[in-house]
Amino acid sequence: AQSVTQPDIHITVSEGASLELRCNYSYGATPYLFWYVQSPGQGLQLLLKYFSGDTLVQGIKGFEAEFKRSQSSFNLRKPSVHWSDAAEYFCAVATLNTGNQFYFGTGTSLTVIP
Amino acid sequence: DVKVTQSSRYLVKRTGEKVFLECVQDMDHENMFWYRQDPGLGLRLIYFSYDVKMKEKGDIPEGYSVSREKKERFSLILESASTNQTSMYLCASSSIGLGTGELFFGEGSRLTVL
């Protein structure tokens, strides 16, 4: 069965520091991979997605992620965190069958300190 | 601007009441989804639909039903609300092809069952 693991429940970083959020997936074929962000009290917004091609993908708000097939990982990175980046981040994997089911990780909560 | 609209942001209901959560999308998407979000558990799929009048069970369908009479509208129904259904409910939609697809989310409906 497909699964997505985000091993870090909560991360705290200082404003201006770099950030890496981890995501590992379990899926037999080439996955479609996504990172979403959720601000408090809001729905989820897409940060970036990987379907094929270049394994380093750029997203909105200065985020990027790298697909590493050998490690079954799709880690999210940002070189310099801003206070407005404080939010919940979700990694997701999608399947190709009818209905296009998405499987989500349990999320990583990011706190940014001044 | 594309949009998924959930009719109620906050609801308070009593145990045993019938609850309707409505979701409308304006993107002519074939696929629509209902998720439940709980702290530490991430997003769990309740039901999804890939066409009018079609529905498929997700991972946690017990205690819920859905209705999709029109392409743009997907309703989640709690026939007899219970306290363990207190949660954030998120509606999402996507186009049929994953090659162009991503999930678009509504802002969520926070349900409290007393």
Contact call for A99 and B50, based on CB within 8 A: yes
With beta carbons under 8 A apart, name residues in chain B contacting A42: 107-108
Chain A residue nearest residue B100, CA to CA: A51
Compute the nearest-CA separation of B77 from chain A (Å): 20
Pick B102's closest partner by Cβ from A43, A49, A90. A49
pLDDT reported for residue B99:
53
pLDDT reported for residue B101:
66
Percent of chain A with pLDDT over 70: 93
With beta carbons under 8 A apart, name residues in chain A contacting B50: 98-100
Interface probe, candidates A10, A34, A98, chain B, greatest B C-beta count within 10 A: A98
* pLDDT tens-digit series, residues B105-114: 999 999 999 9
A29, pLDDT greater than 80: no
User: Are B81 and B18 spatial neighbours (Cβ–Cβ below 8 Å)?
Assistant: yes
pLDDT reported for residue A94:
83
A85, pLDDT greater than 70: yes
* pLDDT tens-digit series, residues A4-25: 999 999 999 999 999 999 999 9
Cα Rg, chain A, nearest whole Å: 14
* pLDDT band at A110; cut points 50, 70, 90: very high
Cα Rg, chain B, nearest whole Å: 13
Compute the nearest-CA separation of B94 from chain A (Å): 8
Chain B residue nearest residue A47, CA to CA: B102
> How far does Cα A72 stand from its chain's mean position?
13
B98, pLDDT greater than 80: no
B85, pLDDT greater than 70: yes
**First vs last C-alpha separation in chain A:** 41
Compute the nearest-CA separation of A88 from chain B (Å): 10
User: Residue range B26-49: average pLDDT?
Assistant: 92
Rounded-to-integer distance, Cα B64 and Cα A23, Å: 30
Contact call for A43 and B56, based on CB within 8 A: no
Contact call for A104 and B42, based on CB within 8 A: yes
Parallel, antiparallel or unpaired: strands A32-38 and A44-50: antiparallel
